[in-house]
Amino acid sequence: MRNLVRAIGTALLTLCLIAPAAHANVIISGTRVIFPAQDGEVTVRLTNQNTSPALVEAWIDNGDKDSTPDKANTPFLITPPLFRMEPNRDQSLRILFTHSQQPLPSDRESLFWLNVLDVPPKPTGPQTEGKNYLQLAIRSRLKLFYRPTGLAGDPIKAAAALTFKAGPSNAGGYTLVVHNPTPYYVTISKLTLQSSGSSYNGKTNMVAPMSDLKLDLPELKHAAAVGDAIEFDSINDYGAIDALKSSVAP
């Protein structure tokens, strides 16, 4: 049965990713998973909001969006990895750190991804007899941040520590170089630069710990000046939006 589910997931993966009108019946609590190293395990709650059962498979990958359960290779174990969810019921996923691979960095967070594949039951009844139909399996993919013990600073304040400098874009035009001095990942979901009396929207992305990231400003026709105002939104540990302000540094 497990092989059958894997085959279904692989065959429908492309359809899952290109079907924006489809909605998952199995809902995951939260939009990200924080895994404190000292806890050894975390729990993620799922809810089947449909009136029919669903077959669910869960796995964790290290960044390959095309991963499948049999190919994923991470230091985590999910239990149960495969199960049937009855309608209008909850199910808890336990995620355990196994220490089965080389040690993860102890001075910064590590990023992984939690995948939850929701396979609906085969349609039954006279309305489907002798007819063709398209059945979609929906895969949800959430960021999982492994957070070592004793990291410096407060993760809630990490976004406020970002600094921005003006620079040229690799594709031509202009960009902001974002520096993250903290050991935490920071996700920027919105960015606006105020320069020469006009507003310019920048690209958004996630800044890795102790790293730099270029965020292009496609409409900007001149380099940003020191002191130009920046407004940006960051997503915190709870999935909420924090609105922050900064400026272009020298």
> In this structure, what token pair is assigned to residue 86?
């009855």
Distance from C-alpha of 33 to C-alpha of 113, rounded to nearest angstrom: 9
Q: Tell me, what's the pLDDT at 99?
A: 82
Q: Tell me, what's the pLDDT at 25?
A: 85
Preceding peptide of 80 cis, ω within 30°: yes
CB 26 within 8 A of CB 48: yes
Query: Confidence band (pLDDT; 50, 70, 90) for 130?
Result: low
Is a pLDDT exceeding 60 seen at residue 179?
yes
Task: Measure CA of the first residue to CA of the last residue in the chain; give whole Å.
Answer: 60
CB 147 within 8 A of CB 106: no
CB 37 within 8 A of CB 43: no
Q: Tell me, what's the pLDDT at 140?
A: 94
Closest by CA to 60, choosing from 78, 34, 84, 40, is 78
- Please provide the average confidence, as pLDDT, over all residues in the chain: 88
Q: What is the mean pLDDT of residues 214-226?
A: 94
Question: 99 phi and psi, to 5 degrees?
Answer: 60, 25
Is a pLDDT exceeding 70 seen at residue 22?
no
Instruction: Report the predicted TM-score, pTM, of the whole model to 2 decimal places.
Output: 0.84
Q: Tell me, what's the pLDDT at 102?
A: 78
